[in-house]
Structures are given as structure tokens and as C-alpha cells.
Chain A
Amino acid sequence: MREWESIEKLAAGVRSGQLKAADLVEKSLRLIEQHQEFRSIIATVSDRSHRRARKIDEMVSRGEDPGVLAGVPFIAKDNFLVFGADTTAASNILKGFDAPFQSTAIEKLEEAGAICVAKANLDAFAHGSSTENSDFYATKNPYDASKVPGGSSGGSAASVALQLAPFSLGTDTGGSIRLPASFCGVVGLKPTYGLVSRSGVVAMASSTDVIGPLANSVEDAALVLDVMAGQDVLDSTTINRQESYQVKKGSDLSGKKIGVVKEYFGEGLDPNVGEAVNSSIEKLKEAGAEIVEVSLPSLALSLSVYYIVCSAEISSNLARYDGQRFGYFDKIAKNLDESYENSRAQGFGAEAKRRIMIGTYVLSSGYYEAYYKKAQTVRTKLINEFEDALKRVDFLVGPTAPITAFELGSKTTDPLAMYMVDMMTVGVNLVGVPAISLPCGRVDNMPVGLQIIGGQRQDVELLELSKTVQELLK
């Protein structure tokens, strides 16, 4: 049963006075309350969201325009700094952290009238593919509570699948929006690197981190991106934006060249997932697209490149959690060293420590050339292969994940097995191009995701094609 109309309709309803923002917020908070068993939420932003809803309804009664997302409730992954609730990044080391400012993305959404009602669960510091690394609790897959929702934006994806709000926000460093979107049967968009400001979002790997929306339709995701995108003086890695990212009409498939990535259909892919994805690709062909096989040989190396580069950047970004200026601190430390070492040891979870140590190793004197520099060089090869492929075809496709959602606890004893779940998503992050995961069927009732990848800064084109594909797959 559909809980929410399209975001466009909801906002239009609020702006016309037919819908009250206060009612939408109430509804969202009620739905959150009703679905607590899935544990997708860390905290609600009750007081502030009620206040903002009242303000918006008052603006409307005065004849003012609250914006293109007027009154629309949303849920933000708990690595976004927002007012009205703690920002914890699902880590004990940030428990109780009260943001002194909000992320630019949140500010933009609020300026457009949207209302953040809750913070979603994630793998702590976004380190993970299942949300089991949250220091608080694991989130359950709405399709099967014994299974994971994927990660690290598992809470965000589950919340949208449960329709707790019309959209949520996630971050994608190695697949963390697309993978949980795939496991939970929702739309997850990873825009081009730099399109949305990361100011006020807890940093993980600065050369790949990206912010994006999760929603139940391409049009909804596109509208949210349209509000968030754009250069920000507070984030010098942001790029210029296109005029509009909204999607009204999908693009025509006839004449489009779609590249099926050979390396995504090899070892490790569940044959049932492969079948679901291939039938979707067949539908694209029937609609007039030319299907071409492309090969990106360096994809086989992408996980290695990712876990070197990403860990290195994590070790740098997590150095700030030292117990001195914010976050958890050891009260009985006798000197500065003890304060650093104990605060970090007690505050961080195991996965954070693993990645910090790998990162430290690959950046340390004597190893930097062989590991970090080498990885960034192989990265160039991958970038070149993507660029060449995208000269020959308009888009690339494949499964978002090699499998559907797995059982809670089934991959937690082997870090490498967990990393393998990202094998189809990390390449995209290393290259910086946009990609989307669209629901494309089920295997034993569990959702399967189709991943479509576009060229760098081709977010509009990707969204327009995705709208067409979404209609075809209905």
C-alpha cells in the first residue's frame, strides 16, 4: 500500500494549503513508531520537526511560498549534522554529540521547506555493507527481518522501503547508497563526485565520499538532488551544477547504446540475481536500446584499490576523534597519550580500528609507494577504462550486488567476505561517475537491484534514462 504521494504532489498540497506540514510530520513520526521492530532509526527529531512544520503552515496561511519541498518529511543518515537530535555516525565515540551547525545539504533541503524527522541507522562511520557495524544495533531488512538491509545506509534504505518518509539521505563511498537500495527494493542515487556539498557530513574517504537520496521513484530522487546540488564555498571539492535535475519525462531508449559490463557477470554472481538483471536488460533491448558487451578489466582490482585508498583516507579523517575537542573521552587517563589511546580504543568499534590500522600501514614510511601510490595509479587505469567504455556506449549496466540480502550475522566473522559484497559498486566511486540502483525484481522474495552507470557530470542524462527504465520494469 502506498503511504505517500509523489514528493511533487505532497509539496504542492502543502503550498496550496490543502495539506498541512504538521500532519505530514505527525504521519511520518507515527509510521516510525509503528515500525520500530526494524530498528532503522537511531533518533527522532520530534520537537524541531513539529516547530518547522508549524512555521511552514504559517507561511502558507500568510501567502508565502515555503519552497519546492514544502512540508515533505525526510530521514537523514546519522552522519549528517542536523539540529534537534544528536549526530552519532552510529558510533560510541560520538554519542551525545550535539551539532553546532548543519550540513549544507540539510540547510538547502530546509530552505526548500523539507523537514528532517529522524536520523537513520548506519554502519558506524559508514564502514560496512550491512549496517551490522552500527555500535548501537543492526537494522533489519523490511522484506525479511532475519536479513540485513545492506549498508552502510541500511537505516536510510529500510526507512524508505517501509515508507516511513517519502525520501531519505545516504552517503556512498564504495556503494553505501546503492547496495542497501538494492537489498531493500528502493531507488538509490549516487551523483557525480562533488555535485552535492559534503560540508557538515562526517567524512569517511574524501576522494570518493558522495551524498545522495533514496526514494521510491526516480522522479522523487531527482527532485531531492535538484535541491541539494551545487557549488558550496564550504566544500571546495564541489563542482558546477546543471540548471535542473528534475525529471518529468524519461529519455527515449531507441538509439541508446547500453554497455553490459562483462566483469559484473563473472564469478561471485548469484545466477538467480544474474537472471533477474538479464531479463531487465532484455526489456531495454525490446524498447529499442542497442545492447553491447564491454569489458573493464581493472574492475577485478577495484576492491583492492578501494580498500587501500579508502582505508588510508579513513585513517586520516578519523584522526580528529581524539577525545579532546568533542566525542567520547577516557575520564581516568593520566596523560595526553593515555587520553588519546584510551579514548580512541574505547570509543571506536572493531571495523573502524581495522580500517584505521590498514590505512596507517599503507601510508606509513616505507609502504606508501608500494600501497597507496600504487593503488592510486591503478585507479587511473580504471578511470581510463571507464572513460573509453563511455565513449563507445551511453551508459553501463549490471547488477548492483552479486547477491540479495544475506542473513544477519552470516558475514560478520570474515571482514573480507563482507568487503566482497561491494565488488560491483566500488569501481564507480573510484572513478567519480554517477550511478543509480533501481529495483528490478525479486529472488525468493528478496529485492534485486539493477545498476546503471553514467558518464561524469551526466547526472541529468542518467536520471532521464532511469525514469524510462523504471517505467519499463514496472
Chain B
Amino acid sequence: MKLTREEVLKLARLCRLKLDDDEVERYRQELTGILNYVEQLDAVDTNGVKPTYQVTGLTSQDENATRTDETSQQVTQPELLKNVPNTEGGHIKVKRMIG
């Protein structure tokens, strides 16, 4: 398989990465190489086999999967906001999203 320029641009858009023309071409080649390598899985017979997403067999029934819905203060608001680029009145300020 060979990734096209358009596909790379679409990918970049999906994961919100701005790429210049040189980068588009460079990643087009590198990603094609990687994807071609992993395609060896196409030929593997996986009939009757289920996917594994969790290797230690934990489920939502396990004791540590949930906790009681109680609030607690582990970190203060100023601490949590100290790395935020733009704040206003204790809120995180971002660019307009709607309209």
C-alpha cells in the first residue's frame, strides 16, 4: 500500500497537527513504510479468536473498578490552574468554539 498526500493531510487534520509540504512528503514515506510492515498481520489466521484489550482479566465487577461517589479535595484549584496558559476568574479561557 502507498499513502497518498491527501490521506496524510486528512490524518493530520483528524489529529489536529499542522504539517508543512516537506513534512507531508516525509511522513507520507515513513508512514507508508511502517504500515507496509504491519500489514503482515493480514495473512494471520485469527478465526475463532477474540481480541484482548485487558491483560489481567479485570472487569467492571472488580473491587477497584469503581469507588463511592464522594467528593474530596486532593489538589486545590489554584494548583490545578497554575499551568493553564490563559485563565480568567478561575476558569480556563479558550478561543471561541461556537459561532
Contacts and interface: CB of A to CB of B under 8 A. Distances in A.
Co-complex (A, B)? yes
Interface of A: 96-98, 100-101, 192-194, 207, 231-233, 236-239, 301, 303-305, 307-308, 315, 319, 322-327, 329, 333, 335-342, 344-345, 348, 353-354, 356-361, 364, 370-371, 373-381, 383, 415-416, 419, 430-432, 456
B38 A325 contact: no
A373 B54 contact: no
A373 B51 contact: yes
Nearest to A379: B52
A241 B15 CA distance: 38
B31 to A, nearest CB: 6
A353 B17 contact: yes
B41 A98 contact: no
A379 to B, nearest CB: 5
Given A341-B17, A354-B34, 6 more contacts: A101-B79, A193-B56, A308-B41, A354-B30, A361-B31, A377-B52
B77 to A, nearest CB: 10
Given A307-B34, A344-B17, A239 B51 contact: no
Q: Which 6 A-B pairs have the closest CB atoms?
A: A432-B55, A376-B51, A326-B83, A345-B18, A341-B18, A340-B16
Nearest to B10: A364
B82 A100 contact: yes
Nearest to A346: B18
Contact of B27 (A353, A373, A456): A353
B89 interface: no
Interface in B19-70: 19, 27, 30-31, 33-35, 37-42, 44, 46, 49-56, 58, 62, 64-67
Contacts of A361: 11, 31, 35
A360 B9 CA distance: 12
Given A357-B12, A361-B31, A456-B56, A323 B65 contact: no
Contacts of B62: 236
A285 to B, nearest CB: 31
A319 B15 CA distance: 8
Contacts of A381: 44, 46, 49
A326 B87 CA distance: 11
Contacts of B58: 194, 236-237, 239
Given A98-B83, A361-B11, A371-B38, A377 B17 contact: no
B33 to A, nearest CB: 6
Given A354-B34, A416-B33, A301 B84 contact: no
Given A324-B85, A326-B83, A370-B42, A377 B75 contact: no
A207 B40 contact: no
A100 B81 CA distance: 9
A358 B35 contact: yes
Nearest to B65: A236
Given A308-B38, A378-B41, A415 B33 contact: yes
A380 B97 contact: no
A236 B64 contact: yes
Contacts of A339: 94-95
B27 A357 contact: yes
A337 B62 CA distance: 40
Contacts of B11: 357, 360-361, 364
Nearest to B14: A360
A360 B38 contact: no
A322 B54 CA distance: 28
B78 to A, nearest CB: 9
A381 B96 CA distance: 48
A333 B95 contact: yes
Contact of A380 (B31, B52, B65): B52
Contacts of B85: 323-324, 326, 329
Contacts of A345: 17-19
A100 B75 contact: yes
A189 B83 CA distance: 33
A466 B13 CA distance: 48
B64 A233 contact: yes
B71 interface: no
Contacts of B42: 370, 374
Contacts of A207: 53-55
A380 B33 contact: no
Given A233-B67, A361-B11, A377-B50, A324 B17 contact: no
Contacts of B38: 304, 307-308, 371, 375
Given A307-B38, A353-B17, A378 B83 contact: no
A419 B35 CA distance: 13
A376 to B, nearest CB: 4
Contacts of A325: 83-84, 92
Nearest to A307: B38
B35 to A, nearest CB: 7
A324 B92 contact: yes
Given A233-B64, A341-B16, A371-B38, A357 B31 contact: yes
A207 B58 CA distance: 12
A329 B97 CA distance: 17
Contact of A364 (B14, B46, B82, B94): B14
B96 A301 contact: no
A182 to B, nearest CB: 23
Contacts of A416: 33-34, 37
